[in-house]
Amino acid sequence: MNKIVIALAGLLLGAGSACAADGSGARELFRRIDTNGDRKLEFSEIQAARARMFDRMDANHNGLLDAGEVRTAVEQVKSKRDFQAAQFADFRAQASRIDRNGDGKISRDEFAAFIPDRLLRADTNGDGALSISELRALRRQ
């Protein structure tokens, strides 16, 4: 996994802060997700980033994430960064919500469309985007 995928995991799996990487890594992550350059992470941009992350996690390229692929991705992230296992409990708990059709696998569309609760709560003004100040507040939580 490359550095961006590792940093994205915290934000996009729904468990870590929006700034999982160091300061410069967080800025680069922000720039990569903020494709329209408006200095906000719109939920549509987060969903696009989640779709790209899905493609990297889908080891057998069948368009579905099974429990083994999710476990492998989580373990790779944990081994690359000093994340506590508890940070990923939220993702495991939300997996059933991501799997909207209940088939025990997560499709690319299901994964991309899901916005983690923590990010929804961080959008304090309800505009469907996370401003820099909202991201900073999220990081302090």
Digitized pLDDT (tens) for each residue of the chain, 141 residues in all: 333 333 344 545 444 443 444 556 677 778 889 999 999 999 999 999 889 888 988 999 999 988 788 778 777 766 665 444 445 555 556 777 888 888 878 899 998 998 888 889 899 999 999 988 888 887 776
The answer to whether residues 123 and 29 touch, using CB atoms and an 8 Å cutoff, is no
The CATH number that domain 3-140 falls under is: 1.10.238
How many other β-carbons are positioned within 10 Å of the β-carbon of residue 19? 20
